[in-house]
Structure 1
Amino acid sequence: MATYHNGELAVQERAGLTDQAGFSLGGIHETVPPVARQFLAEQPAIVVGAADPAGRLWATQLAGEPGFLRVPDPRTLVIDALPVPEDPLAGVLRTARDLRLGMIAIEPATRRRMRLNGRAHRDGGGLRVALDQVIANCPKYLQKRDYRRAVPGETGPRTAATGPALSTAQQEKVRRADTFFITTASDGGDADASHRGGNPGFVQVLSPTLLRWPDYVGNAMFLTLGNLLLNPAAGVFVPDWETGAALHLSGTARTVWDTAETARTPGAQRIVEFSVEAVHEVSSASPLRWSEPGYSRFNPPVS
C-alpha cells in the first residue's frame, strides 16, 4: 500500500493540504498499468536522477528510438540506453547495481507524463529497474512540443565544461528556460525525479550560485518538497530543446515559506531556493531536437 514519508506529511500539513494529499495518494502505485506501458513504449526519452559516488544528486536524460522503454512485467522497467560518456551520471549508471533511481517520462506533444522510482541494475546495453513507485502526474505547466532527430552534420563535436558556478552564458540559459527537471532523495536515499515548468523567466538567477523559482499549485503530494525537508541535496537538469545540449547542476535546495516574499511572485504558493555547488554542461548530449513551445495555459505570468 502506498504511503507518504514523514517529510511529505509534514509539508502537506504545513501547506494545509492534508485532505487533498490523501486523495492524491490514490495516484501512487507499485505497478505499471497497461495504458502506461503503451505510453512508455512510445517515448523517445526519459529523465532520470541519482546520486554520484560523492553523494551529489544529478538529473539527466536518456534517449532512444521509441520502444527503448519496455515493461516486461508490471513491476519492471527496462531502459535500453545509457548516458553519453561526458554525462555526470555516466559512471554510476554504467555500473549500476541496486542504484536508487528516480525517473520521469514526458510527452510534450500531448502534455502527458508519469514518474517512476525504483532500484536500477546494469543490464546489457541499458538498465533494468525494479519499481517501487509508479505515479500519475497532471499536465499543468508542461509546454507543448514536437520532436525530430538530429540529421548528420547538425551536431558538432561533443564537449563538456565543469565548474563551481554558472557562467554568464549559463545564467542566461536558465533565465530563458521554460522547463527543468529536479532530482531529490529522501533521508533514506530513495530518489525521485520531477518536472517544473512555467513561462520563461520563472526561474530567477539571483547570483552565479543561487537560483529561485515559484512552487505553483499542484497535486499536494509534495514528493519533492517532502524530500528536501529531510535531505536538502538536489540536482537540476535544464535541457536545450533546440541544440540537444544539457546543463546539469548539483547542490542543495530549501523551501521558503515567507508569505510576503511569496506574494511578490505571481502564482507562487511557496518559493524554492537552490544553491549551486557544481555545474556540468554537455553539448550535443541528446539526438533529439524539439519545436518551439506552445506554453501551458496554466503558466502564471512572470513579473
Structure 2
Amino acid sequence: MGFHSGELAVQEQAGVSGQAGRLSAMVGRGQLRSGTADFLGSARLAVLTAHDPDGTVWSSPLFGEPGFLSAVDSGTLHIDGSLPEADPLSDMPGGQLAGVIVIDFATRRRWRINGVVTTSPDGGTDLEVDQSYGNCPKYITIRTIDTPTGSLGPQRDPVFAGDSLRAEDRRLIQRADTFFLGTTHPTSGADTSHRGGPAGFVTAVHDRLWFPDYAGNNLFNSLGNIAVDPSAALLFIDFDTGTTLQLSGTAALTWDDSAPADEVHTGRGVSFTPERVVVSGAGR
C-alpha cells in the first residue's frame, strides 16, 4: 500500500519525498508479528478513531487491564469489552475503516494499527488489519498507568456534550502535554496518532486550537489525510482525574516558511475548529 495523494503532496512541500519513499514499505505491513502481539497483550491504553452513525469522526479512549487487547492471529486485533454508552463511538457501524494507536507511556512505545472494524462474536470489537507499524518514542511523556484511568466498560460518566469549548475545557487543553489526533481519508481509511510536547504546546484562542507539527518520521499520515479531508478528531486525557475531552471538527494545515527550522521545529502546524464536544469523567 503506497502513499495517497495528500501524503505525497505534504511530503513534497516539506522537501522529504525521498526519505518518505524509503520508509513506505514499513507502513504497508498488514500483519501483527509476535513482538507486536506481546506488546498488545501488555497494554492498558489504546485510542480508536472511527465514524459514528452520523458520519462524524471521533477518537475514543480504550482503557483496560493487560490482556484486553490481543492478536487473535497475525491479521486480527481483538478489543475485549464495549465502549460506554456516553462515548460517541459506542454504536459505531461495523465494516468501516478505523485506526487504532496502542501506547505505553512507561516505555515510550507506540504502535499504529489500521483496518476494518467488525463486531466480535463475544461482544467485543475486532479490527481486520490493513496496516501495522511502530513509531519512534519522540515527544512521549513518561508516565505510569497502574490502574486504568476509568475503564472500557459502562462506568464512565457523561459530564458535558455541546458544540463549543467551555472555559474548563480550554484549561485542560492548555495544561496538556499529550493528546491524540484522529484523521480520515475517503479510501485509505482512518488513522490515530499521538502528539506530545511541553504543557501549553496546544493553544486555544476562543473556539480555535492550534498545535505545531514537530519533526518526526516524515511520513505525514495525519497531515496527508487533513490535506484531503479536513474532518478530524482530538482526544485529551487528564491522567490525574480520568476526565476525557473528545472533540470533532475540521482541521487545516498551516505553513510558515519564514520560521526557523531545527531538529524539533518545522514551521508546520494544524489549526483545528471544534464542532462537537464531549466530556466524560471516570466512573465511580
User: Shared fold (TM-score greater than 0.5)?
Assistant: yes
Deviation, 1:150, is 6.5
The aligned residue for residue 91 of structure 1 is 91
Q: 1:22/1:264 Cα in 2 relative to 1: closer, same or farther (>3 Å)? A: closer
Point out the more displaced range, 59-68 or 211-220. Answer: 59-68
Aligned 1:188-227 pairs, distance under 5 A: 188=187, 190-207=189-206, 209-227=207-225
Point out the more displaced range, 78-87 or 220-229. Answer: 78-87
The aligned residue for residue 231 of structure 2 is 233
CA distance in structure 2 between the aligned counterparts of 1:249 and 1:90, rounded to whole angstroms: 15
AA of the residue aligned to 1:71: A
Deviation, 1:83, is 1.3
Q: CA contact under 8 A between 1:86 and 1:160: conserved in structure 2?
A: no
The aligned residue for residue 178 of structure 1 is 177
Q: 1:9/1:163 Cα in 2 relative to 1: closer, same or farther (>3 Å)? A: same
CA distance in structure 2 between the aligned counterparts of 1:180 and 1:26, rounded to whole angstroms: 27
1:62-115 Cα shifts (integer Å, max 9, x gaps)? 1222111111211111110221111111121xxx42122110000000000000
AA of the residue aligned to 2:213: D
The aligned residue for residue 282 of structure 1 is 280
Deviation, 1:147, is 1.3
Deviation, 1:263, is 4.6
Instruction: Pick the aligned partner of 1:104 from 101, 104, 113.
Output: 101
CA distance in structure 2 between the aligned counterparts of 1:5 and 1:138, rounded to whole angstroms: 22
Deviation, 1:132, is 0.5
CA distance in structure 1 between the aligned counterparts of 2:42 and 2:160, rounded to whole angstroms: 32
CA distance in structure 1 between the aligned counterparts of 2:210 and 2:238, rounded to whole angstroms: 19
AA of the residue aligned to 2:128: A
Deviation, 1:54, is 2.1
Q: Secondary structure at the match of 2:119?
A: strand
CA distance in structure 1 between the aligned counterparts of 2:187 and 2:213, rounded to whole angstroms: 24
CA distance in structure 1 between the aligned counterparts of 2:65 and 2:49, rounded to whole angstroms: 21
Deviation, 1:53, is 2.0
CA distance in structure 2 between the aligned counterparts of 1:176 and 1:141, rounded to whole angstroms: 16
Q: CA contact under 8 A between 2:86 and 2:156: conserved in structure 1?
A: no
CA distance in structure 1 between the aligned counterparts of 2:90 and 2:213, rounded to whole angstroms: 30
Q: Which structure 2 segments of 5+ residues have no match?
A: none
CA distance in structure 2 between the aligned counterparts of 1:47 and 1:195, rounded to whole angstroms: 9
Q: 1:38/1:6 Cα in 2 relative to 1: closer, same or farther (>3 Å)? A: same
Q: 1:255/1:81 Cα in 2 relative to 1: closer, same or farther (>3 Å)? A: same
* TM-score, length-scaled by structure 2: 0.92
Deviation, 1:189, is 6.3
Large movers: runs of 4+ above 3 Å: 262-266
The aligned residue for residue 165 of structure 2 is 166
AA of the residue aligned to 1:178: D
Deviation, 1:258, is 2.6
* TM-score, length-scaled by structure 1: 0.87
The CA RMSD measured in Å over matched residues stands at 2.1
